[in-house]
Homo-oligomer: A and B are copies of this chain.
Protein backbone atom coordinates (compact mmCIF):
# COMPACT_ATOMS: atom_id res chain seq x y z
CA UNK A 1 0.00 0.00 0.00
CA UNK A 2 1.32 3.47 -0.78
CA UNK A 3 1.06 6.60 1.32
CA UNK A 4 -2.28 8.41 0.97
CA UNK A 5 -1.60 11.36 3.32
CA UNK A 6 1.97 12.51 3.96
CA UNK A 7 1.12 13.94 7.35
CA UNK A 8 -1.80 13.04 9.58
CA UNK A 9 -2.82 14.68 12.87
CA UNK A 10 -4.93 12.85 15.45
CA UNK A 11 -6.67 15.21 17.87
CA UNK A 12 -7.69 13.18 20.90
CA UNK A 13 -5.91 9.88 21.66
CA UNK A 14 -8.56 7.44 22.86
CA UNK A 15 -9.79 4.10 21.54
CA UNK A 16 -10.57 5.28 18.00
CA UNK A 17 -7.48 7.45 17.48
CA UNK A 18 -5.12 4.82 18.84
CA UNK A 19 -6.73 2.14 16.69
CA UNK A 20 -6.42 4.42 13.66
CA UNK A 21 -2.74 4.89 14.38
CA UNK A 22 -2.02 1.15 14.55
CA UNK A 23 -4.18 0.54 11.47
CA UNK A 24 -2.29 3.29 9.55
CA UNK A 25 1.00 1.67 10.56
CA UNK A 26 -0.25 -1.74 9.40
CA UNK A 27 -1.42 -0.33 6.06
CA UNK A 28 1.47 2.06 5.49
CA UNK A 29 -0.86 4.79 4.27
CA UNK A 30 0.42 7.70 6.36
CA UNK A 31 3.82 9.35 6.39
CA UNK A 32 4.22 11.05 9.75
CA UNK A 33 1.45 10.90 12.35
CA UNK A 34 1.27 13.63 14.99
CA UNK A 35 -1.01 13.33 17.99
CA UNK A 36 -2.46 15.54 20.67
CA UNK A 37 -4.54 14.87 23.78
CA UNK A 38 -5.83 17.42 26.24
CA UNK A 39 -4.74 15.43 29.27
CA UNK A 40 -1.04 15.38 30.08
CA UNK A 41 -1.36 11.86 31.47
CA UNK A 42 -2.71 10.66 28.12
CA UNK A 43 0.13 12.36 26.24
CA UNK A 44 2.66 10.69 28.53
CA UNK A 45 1.08 7.30 28.01
CA UNK A 46 1.10 7.84 24.26
CA UNK A 47 4.80 8.67 24.29
CA UNK A 48 5.57 5.66 26.46
CA UNK A 49 3.77 3.15 24.21
CA UNK A 50 4.91 4.69 20.92
CA UNK A 51 1.48 5.92 19.93
CA UNK A 52 2.08 8.49 17.15
CA UNK A 53 5.43 9.49 15.68
CA UNK A 54 5.21 12.75 17.53
CA UNK A 55 3.02 13.71 20.49
CA UNK A 56 2.44 17.46 20.71
CA UNK A 57 1.50 19.61 23.70
CA UNK A 58 -0.98 21.73 21.76
CA UNK A 59 -3.57 20.88 19.12
CA UNK A 60 -2.31 23.67 16.88
CA UNK A 61 1.19 22.27 16.86
CA UNK A 62 -0.17 18.84 15.91
CA UNK A 63 -2.18 20.09 12.93
CA UNK A 64 0.56 22.30 11.46
CA UNK A 65 1.48 20.95 8.05
CA UNK A 66 -0.98 18.07 8.31
CA UNK A 67 -2.71 16.87 5.13
CA UNK A 68 -5.41 15.10 7.15
CA UNK A 69 -6.66 16.20 10.57
CA UNK A 70 -8.91 13.73 12.42
CA UNK A 71 -10.98 15.00 15.35
CA UNK A 72 -11.28 12.03 17.74
CA UNK A 73 -12.93 13.84 20.64
CA UNK A 74 -16.37 13.87 22.26
CA UNK A 75 -18.96 15.48 19.98
CA UNK A 76 -19.70 18.16 22.59
CA UNK A 77 -16.30 19.84 22.11
CA UNK A 78 -15.87 19.47 18.33
CA UNK A 79 -16.79 23.10 17.60
CA UNK A 80 -14.44 24.56 20.21
CA UNK A 81 -11.50 22.49 19.05
CA UNK A 82 -12.19 23.30 15.39
CA UNK A 83 -12.08 27.02 16.28
CA UNK A 84 -8.81 26.51 18.13
CA UNK A 85 -6.98 24.74 15.32
CA UNK A 86 -8.50 26.69 12.42
CA UNK A 87 -5.67 29.27 12.09
CA UNK A 88 -3.05 26.50 11.85
CA UNK A 89 -4.75 24.38 9.19
CA UNK A 90 -2.81 23.87 5.96
CA UNK A 91 -4.49 25.12 2.75
CA UNK A 92 -5.76 22.18 0.69
CA UNK A 93 -5.82 19.84 3.67
CA UNK A 94 -8.84 17.83 4.85
CA UNK A 95 -10.41 17.88 8.29
CA UNK A 96 -12.58 14.94 9.31
CA UNK A 97 -14.02 13.59 12.56
CA UNK A 98 -15.13 10.27 14.05
CA UNK A 99 -18.10 11.47 16.12
CA UNK A 100 -21.23 9.35 16.59
CA UNK A 101 -23.53 12.27 15.72
CA UNK A 102 -23.22 14.07 12.42
CA UNK A 103 -25.74 16.92 12.03
CA UNK A 104 -24.63 18.68 15.21
CA UNK A 105 -20.93 18.19 14.45
CA UNK A 106 -21.33 19.59 10.93
CA UNK A 107 -23.31 22.58 12.21
CA UNK A 108 -20.60 23.35 14.76
CA UNK A 109 -17.41 22.48 12.89
CA UNK A 110 -18.08 23.51 9.28
CA UNK A 111 -18.38 27.27 10.02
CA UNK A 112 -14.97 27.21 11.70
CA UNK A 113 -13.10 25.66 8.77
CA UNK A 114 -11.21 28.28 6.69
CA UNK A 115 -11.73 28.61 2.92
CA UNK A 116 -9.45 26.30 1.02
CA UNK A 117 -9.58 23.58 3.67
CA UNK A 118 -12.02 20.67 3.12
CA UNK A 119 -14.27 19.30 5.82
CA UNK A 120 -15.71 15.80 5.37
CA UNK A 121 -17.58 14.44 8.40
CA UNK A 122 -17.19 10.73 9.13
CA UNK A 123 -18.06 7.99 11.58
CA UNK A 124 -16.39 4.58 11.92
CA UNK A 125 -18.97 2.16 13.36
CA UNK A 126 -16.51 0.31 15.50
CA UNK A 127 -15.56 0.30 19.12
CA UNK A 128 -15.30 -1.71 22.27
CA UNK A 129 -16.30 -1.04 25.86
CA UNK A 130 -12.74 0.01 26.65
CA UNK A 131 -11.42 3.54 26.29
CA UNK A 132 -8.15 5.46 26.42
CA UNK A 133 -4.86 5.42 24.48
CA UNK A 134 -3.96 1.85 25.44
CA UNK A 135 -7.23 0.33 24.25
CA UNK A 136 -6.60 0.67 20.51
CA UNK A 137 -5.65 -2.10 18.07
CA UNK A 138 -5.08 -2.23 14.32
CA UNK A 139 -7.90 -4.67 13.57
CA UNK A 140 -10.71 -2.57 15.05
CA UNK A 141 -12.07 -1.37 11.70
CA UNK A 142 -11.66 -4.61 9.71
CA UNK A 143 -14.92 -5.39 7.90
CA UNK A 144 -16.78 -2.75 9.94
CA UNK A 145 -18.53 0.17 8.23
CA UNK A 146 -17.31 3.74 8.17
CA UNK A 147 -19.96 6.25 7.15
CA UNK A 148 -18.84 9.42 5.37
CA UNK A 149 -21.22 12.34 5.06
CA UNK A 150 -21.75 13.59 1.55
CA UNK A 151 -23.34 17.05 1.35
CA UNK A 152 -23.84 19.49 -1.53
CA UNK A 153 -20.70 21.40 -0.67
CA UNK A 154 -18.49 18.37 -0.06
CA UNK A 155 -15.38 18.36 -2.25
CA UNK A 156 -15.57 15.15 -4.35
CA UNK A 157 -11.81 14.66 -4.47
CA UNK A 158 -11.34 15.14 -0.73
CA UNK A 159 -14.18 12.67 -0.13
CA UNK A 160 -12.74 10.08 -2.54
CA UNK A 161 -9.32 10.30 -0.93
CA UNK A 162 -10.75 9.93 2.57
CA UNK A 163 -12.72 6.90 1.40
CA UNK A 164 -9.54 5.26 0.09
CA UNK A 165 -7.89 6.00 3.43
CA UNK A 166 -10.62 4.29 5.47
CA UNK A 167 -10.68 1.35 3.10
CA UNK A 168 -6.94 0.99 3.62
CA UNK A 169 -7.60 0.87 7.37
CA UNK A 170 -9.81 -2.21 6.78
CA UNK A 171 -13.24 -0.58 6.73
CA UNK A 172 -16.12 -0.79 4.30
CA UNK A 173 -17.24 2.72 3.40
CA UNK A 174 -20.72 4.03 2.69
CA UNK A 175 -21.84 7.60 2.05
CA UNK A 176 -25.07 9.06 3.41
CA UNK A 177 -26.52 12.39 4.48
CA UNK A 178 -26.22 13.64 8.03
CA UNK A 179 -29.86 13.41 9.12
CA UNK A 180 -30.28 9.86 7.89
CA UNK A 181 -27.04 8.92 9.65
CA UNK A 182 -28.35 10.31 12.92
CA UNK A 183 -31.61 8.35 12.63
CA UNK A 184 -29.89 5.08 11.69
CA UNK A 185 -27.48 5.44 14.58
CA UNK A 186 -30.29 6.28 17.00
CA UNK A 187 -31.71 2.83 16.15
CA UNK A 188 -28.55 0.76 15.96
CA UNK A 189 -26.56 2.41 18.69
CA UNK A 190 -27.88 5.36 20.69
CA UNK A 191 -31.21 3.93 21.88
CA UNK A 192 -29.66 0.49 22.66
CA UNK A 193 -26.94 2.17 24.71
CA UNK A 194 -29.41 4.24 26.72
CA UNK A 195 -31.55 1.16 27.34
CA UNK A 196 -28.54 -0.86 28.48
CA UNK A 197 -27.42 1.94 30.81
CA UNK A 198 -30.95 2.12 32.22
CA UNK A 199 -31.27 -1.61 32.89
CA UNK A 200 -27.88 -1.77 34.59
CA UNK A 201 -28.80 1.22 36.73
CA UNK A 202 -32.09 -0.40 37.76
CA UNK A 203 -30.31 -3.59 38.82
CA UNK A 204 -27.84 -1.58 40.84
CA UNK A 205 -30.66 0.32 42.51
CA UNK A 206 -32.83 -2.55 43.65
CA UNK A 207 -32.81 -3.00 47.38
CA UNK A 208 -34.19 -6.53 47.52
CA UNK A 209 -31.62 -7.96 45.12
CA UNK A 210 -28.06 -7.31 46.23
CA UNK A 211 -25.28 -6.10 43.96
CA UNK A 212 -23.38 -9.31 44.58
CA UNK A 213 -26.37 -11.34 43.39
CA UNK A 214 -26.65 -9.22 40.26
CA UNK A 215 -22.98 -9.84 39.60
CA UNK A 216 -22.93 -13.57 40.41
CA UNK A 217 -25.99 -14.40 38.37
CA UNK A 218 -25.34 -12.06 35.44
CA UNK A 219 -24.61 -14.86 32.96
CA UNK A 220 -28.34 -15.33 32.46
CA UNK A 221 -28.46 -12.37 30.05
CA UNK A 222 -27.72 -9.24 32.03
CA UNK A 223 -23.96 -9.30 31.47
CA UNK A 224 -24.35 -8.46 27.77
CA UNK A 225 -26.01 -5.21 28.85
CA UNK A 226 -23.21 -4.37 31.25
CA UNK A 227 -20.62 -4.49 28.46
CA UNK A 228 -22.47 -1.78 26.55
CA UNK A 229 -23.10 0.17 29.75
CA UNK A 230 -19.36 0.24 30.49
CA UNK A 231 -18.64 2.57 27.55
CA UNK A 232 -17.12 6.00 28.03
CA UNK A 233 -19.52 8.26 30.03
CA UNK A 234 -18.41 11.58 28.52
CA UNK A 235 -18.68 10.36 24.96
CA UNK A 236 -22.16 9.00 25.58
CA UNK A 237 -23.45 12.01 27.50
CA UNK A 238 -22.56 14.13 24.47
CA UNK A 239 -24.09 11.67 22.00
CA UNK A 240 -27.48 11.78 23.71
CA UNK A 241 -27.46 15.55 24.10
CA UNK A 242 -26.40 16.10 20.49
CA UNK A 243 -28.65 13.52 18.85
CA UNK A 244 -31.58 14.41 21.08
CA UNK A 245 -34.46 14.40 18.61
CA UNK A 246 -33.73 11.09 16.89
CA UNK A 247 -32.87 9.32 20.15
CA UNK A 248 -36.05 10.49 21.87
CA UNK A 249 -38.09 9.47 18.83
CA UNK A 250 -36.72 5.93 18.87
CA UNK A 251 -37.10 5.67 22.63
CA UNK A 252 -40.73 6.71 22.20
CA UNK A 253 -41.28 3.90 19.71
CA UNK A 254 -39.45 1.52 22.05
CA UNK A 255 -41.65 2.43 25.03
CA UNK A 256 -44.80 2.00 22.96
CA UNK A 257 -43.71 -1.49 21.91
CA UNK A 258 -42.57 -2.41 25.41
CA UNK A 259 -45.98 -1.43 26.79
CA UNK A 260 -47.67 -3.66 24.21
CA UNK A 261 -45.51 -6.61 25.27
CA UNK A 262 -46.09 -5.89 28.97
CA UNK A 263 -49.80 -5.90 28.25
CA UNK A 264 -49.46 -9.27 26.50
CA UNK A 265 -47.71 -10.64 29.58
CA UNK A 266 -50.37 -9.21 31.89
CA UNK A 267 -53.26 -10.59 29.83
CA UNK A 268 -51.52 -13.90 29.17
CA UNK A 269 -51.41 -13.46 25.38
CA UNK A 270 -48.80 -16.13 24.63
CA UNK A 271 -49.40 -16.09 20.88
CA UNK A 272 -48.48 -12.41 20.61
CA UNK A 273 -45.26 -13.02 22.57
CA UNK A 274 -44.30 -16.11 20.59
CA UNK A 275 -44.86 -14.40 17.23
CA UNK A 276 -42.81 -11.39 18.32
CA UNK A 277 -39.90 -13.50 19.58
CA UNK A 278 -39.87 -15.57 16.40
CA UNK A 279 -39.63 -12.48 14.20
CA UNK A 280 -36.62 -11.08 16.05
CA UNK A 281 -34.61 -14.26 15.41
CA UNK A 282 -34.47 -13.47 11.69
CA UNK A 283 -32.65 -10.19 12.29
CA UNK A 284 -29.93 -12.04 14.18
CA UNK A 285 -29.48 -14.45 11.26
CA UNK A 286 -29.13 -11.48 8.89
CA UNK A 287 -26.40 -9.93 11.02
CA UNK A 288 -24.42 -13.16 11.21
CA UNK A 289 -24.81 -13.75 7.46
CA UNK A 290 -23.63 -10.19 6.74
CA UNK A 291 -20.42 -10.93 8.66
CA UNK A 292 -21.22 -8.30 11.31
CA UNK A 293 -21.16 -10.77 14.20
CA UNK A 294 -19.98 -14.25 15.07
CA UNK A 295 -22.35 -17.21 15.20
CA UNK A 296 -20.23 -18.83 17.92
CA UNK A 297 -22.47 -19.49 20.95
CA UNK A 298 -22.35 -16.65 23.47
CA UNK A 299 -20.08 -14.62 21.13
CA UNK A 300 -17.45 -17.35 21.56
CA UNK A 301 -16.83 -16.53 25.20
CA UNK A 302 -14.59 -18.66 27.41
CA UNK A 303 -16.89 -21.66 28.00
CA UNK A 304 -17.11 -22.54 24.33
CA UNK A 305 -16.60 -26.06 22.97
CA UNK A 306 -13.39 -26.85 21.12
Contact = CB atoms under 8 A, between A and B. Distances in A.
Interface of A: 76, 100, 125-130, 135, 137-140, 142-145, 147, 174, 183-185, 187-189, 191-206, 208-209, 211-231, 233-234, 236-238, 240-241, 244, 247-248, 250-251, 253-255, 257-258, 261-262, 265-266, 268, 270, 273-274, 276-287, 290, 292-294, 297-305
Contacts of A219: 125-126, 144-145, 292-293
A209 B234 contact: no
B284 A198 contact: no
A261 B185 contact: no
A142 B303 CA distance: 7
A197 B261 contact: yes
A279 B234 CA distance: 13
Copies of this chain, complex-wide, total 2
Contacts of A294: 301-302
Given A197-B277, A237-B274, A251 B244 contact: no
A89 to B, nearest CB: 29
Given A204-B280, A217-B184, A226-B293, A195 B197 contact: no
